[in-house]
Amino acid sequence: MNVSDKLRSLTYSLDIQMVGVYFWCGNFVIQFGGTEVDDEPFYYPFVVPTFIGFGFVLPNYFSWHTPFDQLKNIIV
């Protein structure tokens, strides 16, 4: 799993509300919980748009993350 896959996995986990704690700084990612992104049946083409950030999803699906308006689409 390369760095962009780790950032995509973090973004995917936040997007689908997987329980966990997430931190990113550039391409450095710390992720407790969540899931790994899989390219089957489709390629998930988004990453978080901020250089540094923090987010979490609790078991009751309460979530918070560094504010941003929309995910950044990466060209495949």
Q: What are 59-69's pLDDT values in tens digits?
A: 999 999 999 98
> What's the average model confidence in pLDDT over 68-76?
85
The β-bridge partners of 72 are: 47
> What integer pLDDT is reported at residue 3 of this predicted model?
66
pTM score, two decimals?
A: 0.89
Check residues 39 and 67 and name the one with the higher pLDDT: 67
Does the pLDDT at position 15 exceed 90?
Answer: yes
How far apart are the C-alpha atoms of 8 and 48, rounded to whole Å? 8
CB 71 within 8 A of CB 11: yes
> What integer pLDDT is reported at residue 38 of this predicted model?
86
> By CB neighbour count within 10 A (0-12 exposed, 13-18 middle, 19+ buried), where does 24 fall?
buried
C-alpha atoms less than 13 angstroms from C-alpha of 50 in its C-beta half-sphere = 15
